[in-house]
Amino acid sequence: MIELNLVDGDAGEPGWQERALCAQTDPEAFFPEKGGSTREAKKVCLTCEVRDECLEYALMNDERFGIWGGLSERERRKLKKRAVV
C-alpha cells in the first residue's frame, strides 16, 4: 500500500491531497475503464486549487493510471516528452 504524505512540510496544514476536490467526489470518475470518459474528472480538476501540485506529483511519481492534475496518462506522457525535447 502506498502512503501519501498529507501534511505539507512542518506547517501542520492539510496537504494538497486533503484540499483536492477529487477527495470530495466519486474516485471512480478519476480512474475510468479503458476507453471510458474522462470528461467529468477533468471538469472537477479545472476548478481545483491544487491542480498543479497534483500534476507535479503524478509526473514525479510516474503515475500510469487515472486523471491527475486534469490530464490523462496519455496527456501526461506527451507533456513529459515535450519537456525532454
For residue 2, say whether it is annotated as part of any ligand binding site.
no
DSSP secondary structure of 11-79: T-PBPHHHH-GGGGS-GGGGSPPTT---HHHHHHHHT-TTHHHHHHHHHHTT--SS-BTTB-HHHHHHH
For residue 22, say whether it is annotated as part of any ligand binding site.
yes
Q: What is the pLDDT of residue 2?
A: 37
For residue 48, say whether it is annotated as part of any ligand binding site.
yes
The pLDDT tens digits along the chain (85 residues) read: 333 444 444 455 669 999 999 999 988 999 998 889 999 999 999 999 999 999 999 999 999 999 999 999 999 999 988 877 6
For residue 45, say whether it is annotated as part of any ligand binding site.
yes
Going from N- to C-terminal start, the domains of the chain cover: 16-84
